[in-house]
Chains A and B, each alone.
Chain A
Amino acid sequence: MKPPITLWLLAALVLTLLAGCTGRQFVAASGWSGVAVGGDMVYVGTRSGRVLALDTRSGNPRFAFPPEGQDPLEGLYGTPALVDGVLYVGSYDSKTKDKHPKGKVFALNASDLSEKWKYPNDVTGIDRIVGGITVTQGGLVLFGASDGFVRALRASNGFKEWEFKTDKPVWSTPTVAGDTVYVGSLDHNLYALSLASGEPMWASPFSAGGAIVSTPAVAGDKVFVGSFDRKLYAVDAATGREAWRFQGEGWFWSSPVSQGKRVYAADTKGVLYALDMGTGREVWRSNLEKPVLSSPVIVEGNLVVATDGGIIYVLSLATGAQVSSYNVGAQVQAPLTANGQTVYVNAMDKRVWALRMAGRQEKVWETNTDPKK
């Protein structure tokens, strides 16, 4: 009976191939943190699970949290927030390694990255933190987590002020305008919450057609937010009613930015759109060919945007014409950070770049954040 043997040998071959697949996906989460700038140091959550303080002029690491010799954190996604000499950073946790969540928010002294407080202040954690942290002038630390909660902590001691539950994980970074917090959720909703109490400000949340991970942008009386349903929405900031919607080609993962009467947003098909803020009419579009996940920034009248292909483009705000480009040689998914003429890029190959945008782009420094690499 030769056929069955052949059959089982073939099955064994396929199973061997499957065996090669096992374990592939269970690589620990690593992150895409943006960069925070303050004084003579810039701060970044590395893909190796540490927060690094780098020298602004040279890029050399000066401090690390947790310090070398201690276990790293499991994934740093949100951009750290730096306010009044304190750096706030949220950590992810990977449930593939541990049944109990280990996500935490840390407040670190910016001068040496020593720990000031952490939330929760015990061995437990909260579910994975993917979005960034927003710190208000009034001393509130706002963030969302994968347990669906938006939380507000007191910046001075990390005690919880309020929390608000959504139906799905919150990966969007909260945006504060006046006394309102705007935040999106994977439950498709955009929420407006009272900064003081966390109570909903709208009669009902604004429902998009897909999940929301992008950070809402507030300009004038509108909130702009993109969704996985490939639409960019303009919502009345006071009532939550839709003002207009714009149909893109891919997901709006990165956050929109606005200046003047225009709002700019890029999608996962690599198309960057400039839209009229009042009507949603397309003014121009630029095809960057590779997906855009990194949120763009505006530097001296130009739009700087990074693609998954590793190219940092500088485009004219007026026309979308390309002014210059720079190849960092690795995927960029972290939001860009601008400080004056310098743009900081945390690439997926664990290198952090400082690029000067005066005229042609030029490298100020690049640093490998993983010494083992």
Chain B
Amino acid sequence: MEIISLLWNEIILNPMENGLVLLYAYLGRNFGITIIIFTILVRVITLPLTLKQTRSTLKMSQLQPRLQALQKRYAKDRTRLSQETMRLYKEAGVNPIGCLGPMIIQFPVWIGLYISVVALLPTKPEDLPKLANHLYSWLPIAHEVVPLNSNFLWLDLALPDPTPVMAVMVGISMWVLQKMSTPAVADPRQASTNRMLLWMMPFMFAFFTISLPSGLPVYWLISNVIGIVIQGFVTGWDVLLFFRKKEPVPVSAVAIDATSQANAPSLVTEETLDAEQARTGGDQRQNDRGGRRTRTQRARRRTRGSHNRGR
């Protein structure tokens, strides 16, 4: 346990605390702005993973009809179903657990940030001297700026927000991000689970916002807003157009052409599956990587994606 504690302190906690103090020293000595810039930095560093996750989620969403067809076809042969599912993932260039990456990276950041906020913004005098030995001795400015000013807007970042404002903002931003990033699924059970999570997670985060030092909810809020922007640019903003009238698209009108089959098969029957299995998956993989996709194809894919979600 001691080695884990040492690694945690040396690799995550101390660099985070010193980094935050350094940002604070050079950003007008405002800890709110420090957390905002820190959040942006974390988001920039994890951007490649986030993009990968977002695209992977999109592809997973688009594969749903085909997965459903497979499930129907191999309902009595679990081994074959598993093999075919994996083959489908491989062909589409999707890693079924790839979307975990950015989230897993966020966890130590959350925990580290919580501990850092508690350490850097003590709420009682006996907590302040503990900070002395956390700051790097080769970073004189870190020692010169403590104790840090914890006031930001109406918040004392060391304490929970006394108003419900942060809880509401965190809840709403998380709901929007969830709404945008939840893949459309054809399986009714999964759709039901997703609907539950869409509401549960924002409520949970809003609840934690009420009781955690408001420095952490500021991180969540900014991180959610950045996440929404990234998601919007990758998958479109359609989901935010709540009042847009959705025009039903005749099923027959959705053509499945050879080049976009893996990307957006809104309707996949066992016949098309058979036809596809008869072919090689090489050109599909190429298309899935998106390198040679035309603007028209991408637009068409987005439209179909929104139709999928609308159903």
Contacts and interface: CB of A to CB of B under 8 A. Distances in A.
A8 B201 contact: yes
Given A7-B100, A10-B104, A229-B144, A22 B129 contact: no
Interface string A8-42: 10111011011101111111111110000000000
Given A251-B129, A268-B132, A186 B147 contact: yes
Nearest to B216: A18
Contacts of B137: 249
Contacts of A229: 140, 143-144
Interface in A65-97: 75, 77, 92, 94-96
A333 interface: yes
Interface string B149-179: 0000000101100100000000000000000
Nearest to A30: B126
A171 B128 CA distance: 12
Contact of B124 (A3, A8, A21, A29): A29
Given A3-B96, A15-B204, A29-B125, A8 B110 contact: no
B190 A25 contact: no
Nearest to B158: A25
B297 interface: no
B24 interface: no
A7 B96 contact: no
Interface in A162-204: 171, 186, 188
Contacts of A268: 129, 132-133
A228 interface: yes
B183 A1 contact: yes
B57 to A, nearest CB: 8
Contact of B123 (A26, A253, A269, A333): A26
A19 B146 contact: no
Contacts of A26: 123, 159
Contact of B126 (A7, A250, A333): A333
A197 B47 CA distance: 60
A30 B64 CA distance: 59
Given A6-B100, A7-B103, A228 B143 contact: yes
Nearest to B127: A25
A2 B211 contact: no
Contacts of B193: 4-5
Contact of A94 (B104, B124, B129): B124
A125 interface: no
B125 A130 contact: yes
A6 B97 CA distance: 9
Interface string A341-356: 0000000100000000
Main secondary structure of the interface of B (DSSP, over half): helix
Contacts of A269: 132-133
Contact of B133 (A75, A77, A94, A291): A291
A139 interface: no
Given A10-B100, A14-B107, A228-B144, A22 B212 contact: yes
Contacts of B133: 250, 268-269, 291
Interface residues of B, number: 46
Q: Which of B129, B137, B194, B208 has the most CB of A within 10 A?
A: B129
B92 interface: no
B264 interface: no
A33 to B, nearest CB: 12
Given A3-B97, A4-B183, A22-B212, A253 B124 contact: no
A230 interface: yes
Interface in B183-204: 183, 185, 187, 190, 193-194, 197, 201, 204
B126 A32 contact: yes
A253 B187 CA distance: 63
A3 B99 contact: yes
Contacts of B111: 14, 17-18, 21
Given A268-B133, A291-B129, A7 B144 contact: no
B132 A253 contact: yes
B161 to A, nearest CB: 13
A25 B163 CA distance: 19
A209 interface: yes
A211 interface: yes
A210 interface: yes
A21 B212 contact: yes
19 contacts: A8-B197, A14-B110, A15-B205, A22-B211, A28-B124, A29-B124, A95-B156, A96-B123, A186-B147, A209-B144, A211-B147, A228-B143, A229-B144, A249-B137, A251-B129, A251-B132, A253-B129, A291-B133, A333-B129
Interface of B: 60, 64, 96-97, 99-100, 103-104, 107, 110-111, 114, 118, 123-127, 129, 132-133, 137, 140, 143-144, 146-147, 156, 158-159, 162, 182-183, 185, 187, 190, 193-194, 197, 201, 204-205, 208, 211-213
Closest CB pairs A-B (n = 10): A29-B124, A268-B132, A22-B211, A251-B132, A210-B144, A1-B190, A25-B118, A14-B107, A229-B144, A3-B96
Interface of A: 1-8, 10-12, 14-15, 17-19, 21-32, 75, 77, 92, 94-96, 99, 130, 171, 186, 188, 209-211, 228-230, 249-251, 253, 268-269, 291, 293, 333, 348
